[in-house]
Amino acid sequence: MSIAIIVHGGAWAIPDDQVEEHRAGCRAARDAGWQILANGGSAMDAVEAAVRILEDAPIFDAGVGSVLNRSGYVELDAAIMDGDNLYYGSVAGVRRIRNPITLARHVLNSPAGMLVAEGAERFAKERGMAFCDPEELIVEREFKIYEQIKSTYDTSKDHASTPPPGERDAQLSAGGYPHRPGDTVGCVAVDSNGWIVAGTSTGGTGYKMVGRVGDAPILGGGLYAMNELGGCSTTGWGESIMRVLLAKTAVDNLHDDIHPQDAATKAIEHLANRAKGIAGCILADRHGRVGWAFNTPRMAHAWRTADGQDGAGV
């Protein structure tokens, strides 16, 4: 069985001065996960290791460096899914966990599939996970952006088709793109036993409503994996992603051994046409092939396959 790994670090209008840091972070995550796979380790271990590196890198909107919600604090979501038996673990709205992907993995090994907020943190304590001070997750860059949005955003104009406040300049109908981070992170890995795992982690979108949960921790939206086809992790405007269940759609597109690149492209085209959405996705299939697609100016990503091919892009 051919091993493979692909990671992403967000799809949005990544500024020129942040490109190299995004690329370096994705490479580091890819390399950490690949080392586990190359040594015969599991896809589950590889995905967790890769996503933890992205959560710990302040450049991404996951873990440290995440965006702030309307009350000025960070709320984190994450999920991980096992493509063998379709078990999954998901957490949402956690405030004191630096690496929610690890907590999501603990949930996967519990009777629950998803835990939120206080219940998720109580479970984390039961599993011996250390808490962090919520202030440790806030970086100066995001605090300044929060202050700017807070001073200008008019909540009275919110409605169902309103892009999240952090993407208020997107002007989707005019073909525009968000000028705020959409740095949700994720990883898909295939191990030597043919086990496929997908994981996704995020701080959400800037100035989001308190308690808002996007696509990242939701099966079919932010991630999906099944050994018979492949795995997917997504990033972008979460509400639009959920409307078409982008991750499940992309995985379903792998039928009849369609190449992951074609499957990813088709999924993003469907998102744009049906939900007027903006996003990116990464895919790996049961043969260890990878693909990715996005309809934003940039998406940070890196990958490696068993045939010696690898790369990183933004």
Domain-by-domain residue ranges, the chain?
4-154+162-307
- Top pLDDT among 159 and 172 is at 159
* Mean per-residue pLDDT, 137-163: 83
Task: Please give the pLDDT value at position 165.
Answer: 52
Amino acid found at 240: S
**Pairing mode, strands 88-94 and 114-116:** parallel
* Confidence label for 153 from pLDDT (cuts 50, 70 and 90): confident
d(CA 173, CA 112): 40
Task: Please give the pLDDT value at position 180.
Answer: 53
* Confidence label for 299 from pLDDT (cuts 50, 70 and 90): very high
Task: Please give the pLDDT value at position 195.
Answer: 98
Task: Please give the pLDDT value at position 13.
Answer: 87
Task: Please give the pLDDT value at position 163.
Answer: 61
Task: Please give the pLDDT value at position 178.
Answer: 44
Residue 86: φ, ψ to 5°: 65, 20
Task: Please give the pLDDT value at position 154.
Answer: 80
Q: Who contacts 258 (Cβ-Cβ below 8 Å, separation ≥6)?
A: none
- Given the residues 102, 184, 200, 305, the one annotated as active site: 184
Task: Please give the pLDDT value at position 175.
Answer: 38
pTM for this entry: 0.94
Q: What architecture is domain 4-154+162-307? A: 4-Layer Sandwich (3.60)
Task: Please give the pLDDT value at position 152.
Answer: 85
Q: How many CA atoms lie within 13 A of 61 on its CB side?
A: 29
199-247: pLDDT as tens digits: 999 999 989 999 999 999 999 999 999 999 999 999 999 999 999 999 9
* Confidence label for 22 from pLDDT (cuts 50, 70 and 90): very high
Q: Which residues pair with 230 in a beta bridge?
A: 226, 285
86-134: pLDDT as tens digits: 999 999 999 999 999 999 999 999 999 999 999 999 999 999 999 999 9
Task: Please give the pLDDT value at position 147.
Answer: 92
| CA dist list (Å): 301 to 11, 235, 238 | 9, 11, 18
* Mean per-residue pLDDT, 244-261: 98
Share of residues in the chain with pLDDT > 70 (%) = 92
Retrieve residue 69's tokens. Answer: 């919600």
163-195: pLDDT as tens digits: 655 444 444 333 334 445 567 999 999 999 999
Q: Is 184 a catalytic residue?
A: yes
- Top pLDDT among 44 and 206 is at 44
